[in-house]
């Protein structure tokens, strides 16, 4: 078995759960403990099921609930040196942390975890590729642009969670102050729908079973715009889902 689900996806909080026959782990947690427990329970999971937590970067929507969760679940936290350092040692009191080195895969509980540094305005942010039993899954959110290394790594993945943050026109006509528009739309901000669709065009192969569009801006995006792009860029055999802030998305099985 190799499956994944999201408890929440977007700038108000992110939490993804990946489960294989060998391990269950969370990627990011920007939710409070009560919400995490409730949403895990809806997926027939409890805190004691979590083996570890991977954190992609130090922004609050990804790390806000991690330390508390790690203490409550008594599980270690893995993140880049930069992400761990950005939070400061006091933040991790009572938590076992392991530093991930960029681009250096780690074997853990039957999994290959491959951190990929991405351009985003954080200390040392990563995307995460996970391999298990010959299948590959990648979680790629919070990046302003794709690097050639990222595109190379994504070739041949079976399942992909990819940021579709904003529609360029909605962002430019939004009420955001100019500095925030520049940050979100810049090369170290977030992916626009078109940029995400270009990544798909680059990597889409018949092997790609499923794509989940994630981290949609509630103000500067519309699920129907994303749905249209997925329709255009993916083959009919690729399943597609769109994550949302309140519910994330249900279990997706990688065959
Ligand atoms: Zn985020
Ligand atoms: Zn971020």
Number of domains composing the chain = 1
Mean pLDDT over all residues of the chain? 97
Residue 144 in any domain: the answer is yes
Region 219-240: what's the mean pLDDT? 96
Span from the CA of 236 to the centroid of ligand 2 (angstroms) = 31
Beta bridge mates, 76: none
Radius of gyration of the chain (CA): 17
**Ion ligand 2 — residues with CB < 5 Å:** 59, 142
24 SS3 class:
strand
Residue 120 CA, ligand 1 centroid: distance in Å: 10
Burial (CB < 10 A; 0-12, 13-18, 19+), residue 205, is exposed
Q: Compute the distance from residue 247 Cα to the ligand 1 centre, in Å.
A: 16
**DSSP string covering 168-204:** HHHHHTSSS-HHHHHHHHSTTS--BHHHHHHHHHHH-
Q: 89 lies in a domain?
A: yes
Report the CATH number that the domain containing residue 172 is assigned in CATH: 3.60.15.10
Residue 223 has pLDDT above 90, yes or no: yes
Q: Do 5 and 15 meet the contact criterion of CB atoms below 8 Å apart?
A: no
- Would you say residue 122 lies in a domain? yes
Cα 30 to averaged position of ligand 1 atoms, centre (Å):
9
Q: How far is the CA of 231 from the centre of ligand 1 (A)?
A: 25
- When pLDDT is averaged across residues 38-56 and rounded to a whole number, the result is 98
Q: Are 158 and 135 in contact (CB under 8 A)?
A: yes
Give the ranges where 43-177 is alpha helix by DSSP (H).
60-63, 66-73, 81-87, 148-154, 168-172
Q: What pLDDT score does 58 carry?
A: 98
Is the confidence at residue 102, as pLDDT, over 90? no
Domain of residue 29, residue span: 2-245
Closest ligand by atom to 11 CA: 1
Least confident of 36-45, 63-72, 205-214: 205-214
Q: Which residues surround ligand 1, an ion (CB under 5 A)?
A: 61, 142
Distance CA 155, CA 137 (A): 11
What whole-number distance in Å separates Cα of residue 95 and Cα of residue 76? Answer: 6
Position 163 scores a pLDDT of: 98
Residue 165: inside a domain: yes
Average pLDDT over residues 81-96: 97
Classify residue 135: in a domain, yes or no: yes
What ligand is nearest to the CA atom of residue 143? 2
**What whole-number distance in Å separates Cα of residue 78 and Cα of residue 100?**
6
For residue 142, the model assigns a pLDDT of 98
Percent of the chain with pLDDT over 70: 100
For residue 194, pLDDT beyond 80: yes
pLDDT of residue 121: 98
- Domain-located, residue 173: yes
Please tell me whether residue 123 adopts helix, strand or coil conformation: coil
In a domain, 251, yes or no: no
CA 221 to ligand 1 center in whole angstroms? 15
CB atoms within 10 A of CB 167: 21
Whole-prediction pTM: 0.97
> With 80 as the cut, is the pLDDT of residue 204 above it?
no
pLDDT of residue 49: 98
| Percent of the chain predicted with pLDDT > 90 | 97
In a domain, 147, yes or no: yes
Report the distance separating Cα 205 and Cα 217, nearest Å. Answer: 27
């Amino acid at each position: 078995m190799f499956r994944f689900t999201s408890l929440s996806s977007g700038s108000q909080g992110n939490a993804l759960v990946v489960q294989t026959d060998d391990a269950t782990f969370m990627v990011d947690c920007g939710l409070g403990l009560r919400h995490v427990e409730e949403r895990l329970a809806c997926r027939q999971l409890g805190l004691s099921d979590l083996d570890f937590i991977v954190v992609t970067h130090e922004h609050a929507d990804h790390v806000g609930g991690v330390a508390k969760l790690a203490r409550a679940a008594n599980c270690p936290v893995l993140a880049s040196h930069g992400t761990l350092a950005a939070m400061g040692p006091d933040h991790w009191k009572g938590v076992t942390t392991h530093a991930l080195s960029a681009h250096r895969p780690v074997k853990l509980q039957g999994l290959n975890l491959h951190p990929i540094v991405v351009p985003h305005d954080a200390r040392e942010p990563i995307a995460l590729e996970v391999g298990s039993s010959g299948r590959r899954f990648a979680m790629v959110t919070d990046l302003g642009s794709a690097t050639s290394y990222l595109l190379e790594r994504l070739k041949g993945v079976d399942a992909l969670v990819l940021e579709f943050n904003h529609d360029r026109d909605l962002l430019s006509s939004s009420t955001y102050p100019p500095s925030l528009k520049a940050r979100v739309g810049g090369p170290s901000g977030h992916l626009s729908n078109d940029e995400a669709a270009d990544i798909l065009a680059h990597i889409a192969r018949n092997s790609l079973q499923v794509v989940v569009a994630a981290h949609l801006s509630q103000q500067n995006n519309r699920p129907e715009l994303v749905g249209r792009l997925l329709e255009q860029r993916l083959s009919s055999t690729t399943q597609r889902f769109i994550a949302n802030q309140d519910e994330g998305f249900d279990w997706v099985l990688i065959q």
